[in-house]
Structure 1
């Protein structure tokens, strides 16, 4: 059983002085059932593509997730191609020759720990990037002085496109909790998207900035939005943690559940080196 101690502080006014006291409350939490956790995607860019398998742990457990070794993974597409993945590191499985293509559907099959799981996804269309450029801000209200980057490009006609923007600084993804950027085209369908600032953190002279725009299946868009909500669900007035959706399904409806997502994305990128 997992036990954790929480402190409840109370302020007590006694004899005209302010003092504090602390009550220690021991809370018994049930040991959760470990689940298969899946993380991976397939893109329209050259592979190999990776799928990572781990086991979930207790909510307050800060140990490294346990890798799932010796699983059997296959990916098949809507054109009839099938590939068996090979384990290249503990819990890491890679393709060798499979190439993702826009418009294709893909099915991931996982056999692990006596269970069989499946996940289906597709690779949606993605617009081209027109320009990716820097902008120098000095003495602008609400901004730190420095160099920022601007995204410019068209949005494809036809409502129902979903995107994620990734911003890299010297090949390192800017991955703060508030830097998960996902958008839909409901308000910008078919329009030109100009001078969009993707981050409020400045770059330095000599930095190499890279942006990626990824097309997303609709369900994966909502998965990322739910994940963003949970990551940023902190503070005194935060809501209770909740599970996010998954497309990993056990073929046995009475078998153990899984978490995570297998997604298809198309990717376009552009790079700029910050100069004075």
Structure 2
């Protein structure tokens, strides 16, 4: 029996080590799609919209900018503005102002194709304060300073948020740093002493946090994007298209990707003191 097991192990080892052939997959070239990235906030403008074209799945080339498009942005109060192209594929406002409770319509004329995106700016609570806390010899924690978030959550279920964090002026923008939350389990409660940094800070380090309100569909867009960005490994699921609010007004025209979103923004800063 031991002899049989020995030869079986040798056979399996040979099979596994021989599976090293490289298989070239000939993927068809996809039709380029319009990619939209932009937002409008309740903070002073200008607001920026970036237009590019999508490329092949494995391309390492910079995505081409969409130049010469015509963009207009309108709100529900009757204000309409044509955006100005300030750099290749970069379009900016100059007059319109975002306001909590308002709805916005972005129209894009790209050649003979017209696209439209609808969004709104939802309410957001203020941030009471950021505090520092020092941890020493605590199980599961490295010694050092930690920044803590404190602030209320508004009563009424249906609020969605994103947290953006800068450490020493650098936005924490790795795939795991995309933090979006809803208020289903914390509706109307006070949110206190939430750690903002995974690694300890030192005296003199700075922390800045932004709390952004999100339209409901944009919240799901960011969740889907997070899933796709982190969908790696041997047992990852097949890639899937992420939703978009940019729609081609022609039912037979090429689809678009990306998102145009409205957000309200609240900010707070902290510098670690001895």
TMscore range, shorter length: over 0.9
- Bigger-Rg structure (1/2): 2
| Matched-pair contact (CA < 8 Å) for 1:134–1:148 | yes
Greater fraction of residues in helix: 2
Question: Alpha carbon RMSD of aligned pairs, Å?
Answer: 1.8
Other-structure match for 1:8: none
Pairing of 1:133-152 with structure 2 (within 5 A): 133-152=131-150
Q: Distance in 1 between matches of 2:248 and 2:143?
A: 51
Q: Distance in 2 between matches of 1:270 and 1:223?
A: 26
**SS in structure 1 opposite 2:254?**
coil
Other-structure match for 2:50: 52
Unaligned runs of 5+ in 2: 1-8
Other-structure match for 1:7: none
Picking from 95, 98, 104, the partner of 1:97 is 95
**SS in structure 2 opposite 1:228?**
helix
Picking from 155, 161, 164, the partner of 1:163 is 161
Provide Cα deviations, 1:196-228, integer angstroms capped at 9, x if missing partner. 123313333222211110000000000000011
Tell me which stretches of 4 or more aligned residues in structure 1 moved more than 4 Å.
16-19
Other-structure match for 1:5: none
Pairing of 1:3-82 with structure 2 (within 5 A): 13=10, 20-21=17-18, 22-82=20-80
Unaligned runs of 5+ in 1: 1-11
Count of matched residue positions in the alignment of Structure 1 and Structure 2: 265
Greater fraction of residues in strand: 1
Q: Distance in 1 between matches of 2:61 and 2:34?
A: 16
Q: Distance in 1 between matches of 2:33 and 2:44?
A: 31
Structure 2 vs 1, CA of residues 112 and 18 (structure 1 numbering), >3 Å: closer, same or farther?
Answer: closer
**SS in structure 1 opposite 2:242?**
coil
Q: Distance in 2 between matches of 1:169 and 1:191?
A: 27
